[in-house]
A and B are shown apart, each in its own frame.
Chain A
Amino acid sequence: MYVYDEYDQRIIDERVAQFRDQTQRYLAGKITEEQFLPLRLQNGLYVQRLAPMMRIAVPYGLLNSKQLRKVAHITRQYDKGYAHISTRQNIQLNWPLLEEVPDILEELASVQMHAVQTSGNCIRNTTTDQFAGVARDELEDPRPYCEIIRQWSTFHPEFAFLPRKFKIAVCASEEDRAAIHAHDIGIELVPNASGEIGFKVLAGGGLGRTPVIGSVVNEWLDKQHLLTYLEAILRVYNQHGRRDNKFKARIKILVKAMGIEAFREAVEKEWAALKDGPSTLTGEEIARAKSFFTDPAYGTIDGAASESALQAQATAEPIFGNWLKRNTVAHRVPGYQAVTVSLKQTGQAPGDITDVQLELLADLADQYSFGEIRSTHQQNMVLADVRQQDLYPLWQSLQKAGLATANIGYLTDVICCPGGDYCSLANAKSIPVAEAIQARFDDMDYVYDLGPLELNISGCMNACGHHHIGHIGILGVDKKGQEFYQVSLGGSQAKDASLGKILGPSFKQEDMPDVMAKILNTYVDLRGEEETFLDTYRRVGIDPFKERVYAKAD
């Protein structure tokens, strides 16, 4: 993983000092509320329903055990002993005190962490595949490019006051695990006709009030031009994105208004002036970035023997076998496997993790996975490099800590924003809906039989729970001061990305488990052999679901 040198450290230390001074001036009444707002947002601090909340950056979801222990310490010292993993791979604190935020930032800086640009109208944390570097279907490790983008976007002087927030995601695998179609800029590593790997660049994707799938701006961009090209896109957006209406300020609205052709032309024009300038990447810089993401010291393992020993364990202890099947994925190195640590135990808010669990994960990472851990945009954690022979003891430890719910990619692996329990923007609570659904569908055999199913819940139009791209999406809406829930079906964040379609009138909170049951029963009745929920939905459309859900009781 990337390690700071003295330059990186100095930059981040100076940021802490800057924000300490700003906070002091604010508390002394020398900065107005309005002026302080973007300053604190760009340091991760946003004020929510109950208290200020703080979003700590986890660049492209990668953490080491030392950092994890520091986060655990911070949740204990400055918060209530737990943290929340967001849908953008970041870590959120629910109860920090404004006065203490500079101290928290200083603690973070001591382990090469920060909260830079995790909120506000600026370039946010770049996200990627949680299985980057270990996935079998990967063309090339995307993380060096994420790090290059991280450095370029950190304190970018020109783009700190954009019309609206700006999110970039990078993916390099066959299966898109970074939802690049739903980002302001999506970058995919692809080969050109002669096999050379470059970037396909998409722009104008996004969720929120007006969900849009991104459009291709450039089919293949030579790697060296990454930063100048991004700069050109941002420059067009900064100058021409709408600033009169917050809800029309994202780049997706600009791309739509201009049309992709005209947008591309404008980008090319800006790019012509920047191309081949000093920000052009050098071979040395790409090599330097790559040098931080080399293979850890994998052992040489007889893959076949290791595999059969593992299968024997799985057969001997079916609960372990089940977890193995649901929560681990193949690794490109023989004898290794990547493990998803489920933060979706029923009874716990999706994505929440306690200080004790954080410390346990740090220990397990040290013991079994080269000291590294990842956060996922599905609000789980990943130990990416576990030896197959260590899976059994790892599972035992995880199980004791409530971190081995075998539900990854299934119905109860709910993706859920903090919603009305914490968030001042919410129209409705989201966590209780997630919990009610998890509680209702507690028969895991039934859940497995339903197959892969993504359920996403957002408490309002801001779509932090990415409800548009869930196979089933739930959105909290306000109906005359009452909390209601709108359901959509058929969204997908995969390469064949699609946006969910609204089922019909919204429902009361207490009806949601029944509504889910009707939707799921419809699927079970109509599904063809081997058909997933999404397959069936795409074949039969929304009407059969609608009929069943809204049928008058007889």
Chain B
Amino acid sequence: MPRLIKNGAVLSDEQWQAANPDADAAGPGSIATLSQWEALGDKQDSAVQLEPGDGVEALLPHLDELALVAVNFPVFTDGRGFSYARELRERGYRGELRAVGGFIRDQLHYLSRCGFDAFQLADESQLEEAVASLGDFSEHYQAAIDQPLPLFRRRA
């Protein structure tokens, strides 16, 4: 059972199994790879994991049906997932958006600004400490998912 940070707290995920790219199809309760997910007949309450390069296009017609979108960061320096998250949220996705893979604690704040609300860090032992990084900044210049108005529209 993976442990993760969700909505600012550490908890265990009892619902979803990690994606298995070697399986022909995603089993019930497991996160599907994009190709497994595309093959699903019924996408209601489904979960899919995006890899860098997948893009969000295929998901757009089904945003209301998805329960979970996981975005994988095979290496933390590959920032494509930041754009995927923002695009999904801007196009109206409201379900769980989970960062998985090799991203690091020091990216949590930016990730959450881009719309991620769940973080499955590779090193589970660091989760409790890592929560603090979510709050690295209390104010921001740009509009993002957490604060849709840029500072210039809010400056007192």
Contacts and interface: CB of A to CB of B under 8 A. Distances in A.
A279 B148 CA distance: 9
Nearest to B103: A161
A166 B82 CA distance: 17
A10 B76 contact: no
Interface stretch (A69-77, A149-157, A299-307, A332-340): A149-157
B83 interface: yes
B151 A151 contact: yes
Interface string A490-524: 00000000000000000000000000000000000
Interface residues of B, number: 38
A62 B66 CA distance: 49
Interface stretch (B17-25, B30-38, B108-116): B108-116
A156 B142 contact: yes
Contacts of B142: 151-152, 155-157, 279
Interface in B46-90: 52, 55, 76-80, 82-84, 86-87, 90
A3 to B, nearest CB: 13
Contacts of B150: 152, 227, 278-279
Contact of B76 (A5, A35, A151): A35
B113 A157 contact: yes
A5 B77 contact: no
Interface in A222-259: 227, 235, 238-239, 243
Given A39-B106, A161-B77, A278-B148, A151 B136 contact: no
Pick from A151, A161, A281 the residue with the most CB of B within 10 Å: A161
Contacts of B140: 11, 155, 157
Interface of A: 5, 7, 10-11, 14-15, 18, 22, 31, 35, 38-39, 121, 148, 151-152, 154-162, 227, 235, 238-239, 243, 273, 277-279, 281-282, 284-285, 288
25 contacts: A11-B140, A11-B141, A14-B136, A31-B104, A38-B77, A39-B106, A151-B141, A151-B142, A151-B152, A154-B141, A155-B140, A156-B142, A157-B142, A158-B83, A158-B144, A160-B79, A160-B110, A161-B76, A243-B52, A243-B78, A243-B80, A277-B143, A278-B143, A278-B149, A278-B153
The 3 closest A-B pairs by CB, nearest first: A161-B79, A157-B113, A157-B110
